[in-house]
Structure 1
Amino acid sequence: MTKLAICASIAFGVTILPLSALGQDAGAGCTDGDWVNKPDAAFAADCAAFAFDGSLEDRERLAWMFFARVNQLIPSPQNGGMSGSGQAPLWMAWPTDPDTFGSRTMFDFAAMTPRIEMEPSIEKKDLNAGRVSTADPDGANEEVTRNEVSYDYLVESGLTTKVDVATFFTTNDYVDMPVGSVELKASWLQVTPGSPAPAGALTFKFDSGEYWWRGLHIMVKMRKLADPATALYTEDPSWFWTTFEFNDNPGVAKVRETLITQRAPLPQDQVGAILEAAGLGGFGLEVFGPNGTQIRFTEDGTGETPVILGHTDMEDFAGAPNTAQPRYWTRFEASCHACHATASYDPGTGQFFPFSVPTGALDPAYNVSDSAGTVHYLGQGYKSLDFMWPIAFQAH
């Protein structure tokens, strides 16, 4: 992984096992050897064929590998660490949206210190108004974090303020994140007397209070597109998507089994072997599971059947008939790839495309009305932000 993760694994005496030794068919260059500590760019490149040309089972295995990599344990001396362990996942030492878009100080990756302040992304999605809003749809605290590959590109390319985004598009037709970029979104819920943490949940004491960890979105750039300008519409894969959710969230089992379209749950012994290989056995991460994986708009890239993937808390707005009752949902209109594909910018108007929740393949006629009632069409000058909603939500 990163040099920080390598230091962490050495510090805790992690023994890295090749997954081929666990009775698995290894993806050449992906699951063999020291897969936990490879630099992010190297791991993504080595695993691209495994992700994009393999089976659903291969993708499920890769989802767990990514989950293990970002959750490598580092010391967390303040506030007791995760569930009082004195340790915390590596991603909790990565820069958040406020660190990336709201600071003039370069983030210190070498410090490798988990934050103790809750740093949710301030700008949230106001679906009813069709615009970005500071209102949180469900009251949850969601933190977006990113690795050094992603952070460096955003900062060095001038994509952290709206003025700089406008300047970027005077000489560029699209954003093209580097291979190895990792973007995460974690969901937390505060622990209170009336709303205790569920049995088995992992908790963390931020300075503002104790929270339990409800889930983690993972998106990884694994391959460059032959033509990045086509990112809004092409079925050719470039990003890998998965979302891990607390297994006992109300209704999640029903949603996974009946509404998510691309799942291939691994036997528990295989899950345990992956976590053990990353030095995570017994830490409690088995209480999570991936809701599924996604690599393109539609199943097999035919343009016919939309891939459905989402998290019952972070995308509860996509469930129906009642967003607060996943166990009764008959429809879940969530698609990581399709939603993020519409992250785009119109250099002619200086506007970001309004947030929406499409499923299935997009085309230039796809449109959304903003809060003023103006209809925006993707084909009317919008340029791809390479699936990066944080640029649209956070650049001011």
Structure 2
Amino acid sequence: MPALSIVIPVFEAEEYLAGCLDTIIDGDVDGGGDRLEIVVVDDCSPDGSRAVAERYAARDGRIKVITTPANAGSGPARNFGLAQAKGDYVWFVDADDELKPGAVERVLAAVTGPRRPDVVLVQHEKMRDTGAIETGELPELAEHCPADPSGFTLTEWPRIVDYTHTPWTKVSRREFLNGIDLGFPTGWYTDIPWTYALLRRAERIAVVVECCYQWRQRAGSSITRTRDDRHFDVFTQWQRTWDDFEGVDDPGVRVALFNHMVWHLLLVIGNTERVEPKKRREFFRRTSELYRRYHPGPDAWQPADGVTGLKQRLLAARAYLGYEALRQVYRLAKRVNRTDPQEVPAPEVTASEVEASSAINGAVVSGSAVQSAPDDASGLPAQAKLPAPRVSRP
């Protein structure tokens, strides 16, 4: 039985699959046939992805190529691959991403020992299509872990929900995964209910803070940069998460999860590459509904400082016009700050921005002035015992 099964869902990845497989094969420095299994799941890809996988499988017995009955998306493809996997542990890897050198060794070291973890969280980095590298936040989070980072539960460290809710940063014990009967749902943002259900049930979680995974964000290939009504699936997935946590009474866990959900939903609506402008009001309304439904109470959670706190208060007040006004004023302030008034004429202010400036003065908010608020688009500013989460992927 292999120690580790790497499951790769594949759809229209012909251009990238070879690079992904190379980093996995080269990363298994021992090369032993009993350590590693690679399950390539062809999700009925219409391009030459399967041919690439079969070419690799023909010369490497550790690679197995299977095909889903019908194209159903990455979540169901992962479920299909898991059913075929034989390893002690399972790692879901995306076909257009790559493993970092030493990743396989680090993961195998983390799962070896008398007290084996149910889940291992691994550090990642994001490479943008510009070539810029952004480092994941796991080491920073681990510095403040109140428990043993080599073995803890969600209750012992609720703040771990702030780590990216992507399946490729989690290596799970296969027997544990099958025992809790946890699969990926259909739709977009399926990582959300899967990740938090996994962490809720794990009796022992460990972290690997050395970088193991490179998410390669490619133009046109990521849902984070795609305008589509399927972004509304995020509400279904967060509702599934809260339904699963209905019996969890631990206040620390519920506060951390709520804090993370609010950050994530504000991130999605604030991304102009995701939600169509004409759909923003409806997206805000549904965000406000979840905010009000699962707010843990004013004694447990308070809005943040700065611009994010203003947005959170507007969610509580269901004040969409105030939210849009805030966005317009904040964007105007950033435009002004990017110019040198001594050398460049001030930008012309549009009528909508003038209206926004007036409207924000009447919004039901409190907090710092917009002009002096920090640029917190990347995450929530720190709150008492609950610093800012950062997520690399939806």
TM-score by length of 2: 0.30
Indicate the structure with greater strand content. 1
Asked which structure has the greater CA Rg, the reply is: 2
In the superposition, the TM-score normalised over structure 1's length comes to: 0.30
